[in-house]
Amino acid sequence: MSRVERTPYADRAPVIRDESPRCPDYHGRCVTNIVPALLGPGGTEALPDFFPQITRGARQVVLLVVDGLGWHQLQDRILRAPAATTTLASMQGSAITTIAPTTTVTALTSIATGATPGEHGLVGYRIDFAGRVVQMLRWADDKGDARRRLSPRDVQPCPPFLGASVPVLSKAEFDGTAFTEAHLRDQRMFSWRAASSMVVDVRNLLASGERFVYCYYDGVDKIAHERGFGDYYDSELSFADAMVGSIIERLPADTVLLVTADHGQVHVGGNTIALSTDVMEHVRIQSGEGRFRWLHARRGREADLLESCRRFDDVAWVVTREQVVEEKWFGGRVSADAMRRMGDVALVPFGPVSFEDPADGGLFDLVCRHGSLTADEMLVPFLAHRA
């Protein structure tokens, strides 16, 4: 191991360990159950108990997913920087769980389809497909674009929005990407280049009679990754709060705005653990991400790999694929495809650390990260305002 001081951590106070992983509540208060409830036969007249009361009976609904806005981070800002969260703090609702791993690819697919990760099969940020690890947002591996080899509709078989075609408001740069096709196929895309345009499009779509509008905003997640939980984060959250307020101002009567997120965040900074040679000698490839790192064992080395990873018990949950399935981290049903895409051992930190894979890099070092099953990453807001 290198580049990490384990107790206390280099740039953080000692962490209080979660005694066990915070597993998704797939049968209750979970993001997987939002769309099926809203678009199902009962509509807004027969919503589950975890929906804010004011949602019931609404004529129109807007669902806004704010990428990276964790429940604990929001509550901290409501207490510490109330001016930045005036609108969100005024909304009704509470925390619900996202899915595992707590990562954008997996969570956005679960929100749109209502399916668990074990059902839709997009089980992480970087996924192993027969020995080639594909970064799913770019849909590319070390040899480049993987779209010809991996058809998005085949990789992810579950239809979004219960098979309905709904208006989707998202960044123009996401149009036509393989990941968009995988989780939002056959939808009516209203793309924006500036977030202010989304506010106008929401107003116009509701005025035209649309009963359900889906919106996605990624700014909070981007700033947390690049800048951490400082002034830049507070400024971005203030911007997002104002955007929510602008949408609320334009809601027609008897319309509800719902705000949720795909995951929370943890400040990691430079606390990165590089796997040592005596671990890597058992590893064929790595997938996942820093806070949900799958290790794929060389043939016959599964037990040796698990034993060598036990040294990380003081910073991470060290679990096997079989344990993940048995404990239903990815839901009660796990398809054969999803099983094949998992590794043999997962390193899932409860401390503010990440596990390095030299093949898993980007344009800059990430300050905040997500992927694990801590409360900071697992709990997201589910808030409502009714006009």
Task: Determine the pLDDT at residue 19.
Answer: 74
**CA 260, CA 110: separation in Å to the nearest integer?**
13
Distance from chain centroid for Cα 302: 29
If pLDDT is split at 50, 70 and 90, which confidence band does 17 have? low
Kindly report the average pLDDT of the chain as a whole number.
94
Q: Which residue has the tokens 């990815």?
A: 330
> 83 or 296: whose pLDDT is higher?
296
Please check the confidence at residue 9 and state whether its pLDDT lies above 50. Answer: no
**CA 190, CA 277: separation in Å to the nearest integer?**
49
- Measure the CA angle with vertex 333, ends 329 and 338; round to 5°: 75
Cβ contact 18:350 at 8 Å: yes
If pLDDT is split at 50, 70 and 90, which confidence band does 3 have? very low
Among 273, 270, 267, residue whose Cα is nearest residue 358: 273
**CA 40, CA 229: separation in Å to the nearest integer?**
38
**CA 103, CA 93: separation in Å to the nearest integer?**
23
E-strand ranges in 252-344 read 255-260, 266-267, 272-274, 283-289, 292-297, 316-320
Three-state helix/strand/coil letters over the chain: CCCCCCCCCCCCCCCCCCCCCCCCCCCCCEHHHHHHHHHCCCHHHCCCCCCCHHHCCCCEEEEEEECCCCHHHHHHHHHHCHHHHHHHHHCEEEEEECCCCCCHHHHHHHHHHCCCHHHHCCCCCEEEECCEEEECCCCEECCEECCCCCCHHHHCCCCHHHHCCCEEEEEHHHCCCHHHHHHHCCCEEEEECCHHHHHHHHHHHHHCCCCEEEEEECHHHHHHHHHCCCHHHHHHHHHHHHHHHHHHHCCCCCEEEEEECCCCCEECCCCEEECCHHHHCCEEEEEEECCEEEEEECCCCHHHHHHHHHHHHHCEEEEEHHHHHHCCCCCCCCCHHHHHHCCCEEEEECCCCEEECCCCCCCCCCCEECCCCCHHHHEEEEEEEEC
Task: Determine the pLDDT at residue 261.
Answer: 98
**CA 185, CA 168: separation in Å to the nearest integer?**
10
**CA 273, CA 338: separation in Å to the nearest integer?**
27
- Measure the CA angle with vertex 183, ends 344 and 72; round to 5°: 70
Please check the confidence at residue 15 and state whether its pLDDT lies above 50. Answer: no
Please check the confidence at residue 2 and state whether its pLDDT lies above 50. Answer: no
Please check the confidence at residue 353 and state whether its pLDDT lies above 80. Answer: yes
Task: Determine the pLDDT at residue 197.
Answer: 97
Please check the confidence at residue 115 and state whether its pLDDT lies above 70. Answer: yes
Q: Which residue has the tokens 């509550």?
A: 75
Average pLDDT over residues 348-364: 89
If pLDDT is split at 50, 70 and 90, which confidence band does 361 have? confident
Task: Determine the pLDDT at residue 6.
Answer: 36
Domains identified in the chain and CATH numbers: 31-267+373-386 (3.40.720.10), 272-367 (3.30.1360.180)
If pLDDT is split at 50, 70 and 90, which confidence band does 18 have? low
Q: Is the four-CA dihedral 327, 332, 336, 341 of positive or negative sign?
A: negative
- Measure the CA angle with vertex 63, ends 79 and 210; round to 5°: 145
Average pLDDT over residues 111-132: 97
> 13 or 177: whose pLDDT is higher?
177
Please check the confidence at residue 351 and state whether its pLDDT lies above 60. Answer: yes
Determine whether 41 is exposed, middle or buried from the number of CB atoms within 10 Å of its CB (0-12, 13-18, 19+). exposed
Residue 155, both tokens: 């990789």
